[in-house]
Amino acid sequence: MLSKSRYLKGLKCQKALWLNKYKKEEVFYSESTKQVFSVGNTAGDLAQQYFPNGKLALVDDYANSKSITRTKELIASGVTTIYEATFAAESTLVALDILHQIDGKWHAFEVKSTNSAKPEHIRDAAIQYFVMTNAGIEIADISIMYFNRDYIKQGEIIPRELFTYESVFSRIQSYLPEIPENIATFLEVYQHEEPTVLIGEHCTKPYACEFANYCLTLKENQPILEEWENEPKLSTKVDYKNTKGIELFLTDNPYPIYSLDFESIQHGVPKYDNSRPYQQITFQYSLHYQKDANSKPIHFEFLGNETDDPRERLIIQMIKDLKQDSNMGKILMYSSFEKTMITQLIRDFPKYTKELALIIDRLVDLGIVFRRYIKQQLPKIRGL
């Protein structure tokens, strides 16, 4: 019997499919991947409140024959909203996040902790729909439910506003014909020894494989790793330098100078008021002030406490730290990240618009020097 997750794993890599059954002890999840799982679990719980007062089909902590029976009982009893509705057909078992009736017809909803329906979600919905319909239930539509990127948290999370959804019924149709053959192929994988699949792009896309560390140790992959190791390394050799352009840049941006760098964090489910799903929240900055070429840089910094919204305190301290000189001075950054973050701070904390707008006027992109006046030949580097 395949599960939905194993079917999707087989689409990505048949070796990972085999390892998932026979060598689970080789699984390794990074902390960032664990965080993704955590956000996904939270999103799933909140999404149930989008269609409240439903019944849970799971009997144990995971989908199995008991939850299949429970799903049938709930449908027979007239329940119109079922969480984790479980079905099996064609040697494959699936558990749908939300099965909900609209105008007397069943609609399927698969919840994702993202800001959009991604290509891999369509394959997910396709196997769900295939199994459900082959199990005998008529599905009028199937949708991917995800975070509404325009939702702004104010107080308690409101699931009806946090989520939105879009039908993927038409998009799954092209994948349905291939599913029976895929199922047969994946079940056949289990009947043989561990398959040989060389490492490559599929190890990281569309997500990192939990067996990547194991595969990197295998003998068949060593020639690939050696090839990557022998590829040209990044060089600092300058092929072209416009000295006059650099001198002009320095003339236009005299001392005193500040050098500013932000760090940010993202929460799928907004943690603070006046924030959106997966919005970049500035929680730290590092700032250096140098009065002239002969003076040593003075360092200033801010770091949030991981509990409270750090943004307003960061704004207040940043405004103060950027006034170390009566000449005010230019503020060096690299690329446009700092400008984008300050623009967002103006949007979310408009009472500081005047002060923050003045800071934006002082920003200077140091990347201009490299994009316009210095050229390097950078080799293409492959890798995981």
Higher-pLDDT residue of 177 and 372 is 177
Q: What is the pLDDT of residue 324?
A: 85
pLDDT bin (cut points 50, 70, 90) of residue 344 is very high
pLDDT, tens digit (0-9, with 9 covering 90-100), for 50-100: 999 999 999 998 899 999 999 999 999 999 999 999 999 999 999 999 999
Residue 240 has pLDDT above 80, yes or no: no
β 2-3/92-102 pair status? parallel
Cα 150 from Cα 161, distance rounded (Å)? 9
Give the CATH number for residue 171: 3.40.91
pTM: 0.90
Other beta carbons within 10 Å of 232: 10
Q: Which of 148, 46, 172, 140 minimizes the C-alpha distance to 97?
A: 46
Residue 126 has pLDDT above 50, yes or no: yes
Asked, for residue 8, whether it belongs to a domain, the answer is no
Q: Are residues 126 and 272 in the same domain?
A: no
Q: Which of 305, 328, 304 minimizes the C-alpha distance to 314?
A: 304
**Three-state DSSP state, 322:** coil
Q: Which of 79, 175, 64 minimizes the C-alpha distance to 128?
A: 175
Asked, for residue 149, whether it belongs to a domain, the answer is yes
pLDDT, tens digit (0-9, with 9 covering 90-100), for 288-319: 999 999 999 999 999 999 889 999 999 999 99
Q: What is the pLDDT of residue 230?
A: 79
Residue 252 has pLDDT above 70, yes or no: yes
Mean pLDDT along residues 189-200: 96
Q: What is the pLDDT of residue 235?
A: 63
Sign of CA dihedral 237, 240, 246, 247: positive
Asked, for residue 203, whether it belongs to a domain, the answer is no
Asked, for residue 348, whether it belongs to a domain, the answer is yes
User: Cα 85 from chain centroid?
Assistant: 26
Q: Range with the lowest mean pLDDT among 23-32, 77-86, 375-384?
A: 375-384
Q: Are residues 164 and 96 in the same domain?
A: yes
pLDDT bin (cut points 50, 70, 90) of residue 377 is low
Q: Residues with Cβ < 8 Å from 245, sequence gap 6 or more?
A: 369, 372, 373
Asked, for residue 97, whether it belongs to a domain, the answer is yes
Q: Are residues 244 and 182 in the same domain?
A: no
Domain boundary among 187, 211, 226: 187
Q: Are residues 38 and 172 in the same domain?
A: yes
| Length reported for the chain | 384
Residue 49 has pLDDT above 50, yes or no: yes
Q: Are residues 244 and 343 in the same domain?
A: yes
Q: Are residues 306 and 176 in the same domain?
A: no
Domain boundary among 155, 170, 187: 187
Residue 300 lies in domain: 240-370
Q: Are residues 169 and 103 in the same domain?
A: yes
pLDDT bin (cut points 50, 70, 90) of residue 204 is very high
Domain boundary among 168, 187, 206: 187
Q: What is the pLDDT of residue 45?
A: 95
Mean pLDDT along residues 113-136: 97
Percentage of the chain modeled with pLDDT above 70: 96
Q: Are residues 182 and 250 in the same domain?
A: no
Q: Tokens for 113?
A: 């902790």
Helices 353-362, 311-321: axis angle to 10 degrees equals 60
Q: What is the pLDDT of residue 374?
A: 84
Q: Are residues 250 and 138 in the same domain?
A: no
Domain count of the chain?
A: 2
DSSP 168: -
Asked, for residue 235, whether it belongs to a domain, the answer is no
Residue 382 has pLDDT above 60, yes or no: no
Cα 156 from Cα 273, distance rounded (Å)? 9
- Per-residue exposure over 141-175, b if at least 16 CB sit within 10 Å of its own CB, e if not: bbbbbbbbeebebeeeeebeebbbbeebbebbeeb
Q: Are residues 178 and 35 in the same domain?
A: yes
Asked, for residue 158, whether it belongs to a domain, the answer is yes
Q: Using alpha carbons, list the distances in angstroms from residue 368 to 227, 331, 343.
A: 34, 14, 20
Mean pLDDT of all residues in the chain? 94
Percentage of the chain modeled with pLDDT above 90: 86
Residue 325 has pLDDT above 80, yes or no: no
Asked, for residue 380, whether it belongs to a domain, the answer is no
Residue 381 has pLDDT above 50, yes or no: no
Q: Are residues 258 and 182 in the same domain?
A: no
| Paired strand residues for 289 | 258, 298
Residue 109 has pLDDT above 60, yes or no: yes
Q: Are residues 176 and 69 in the same domain?
A: yes
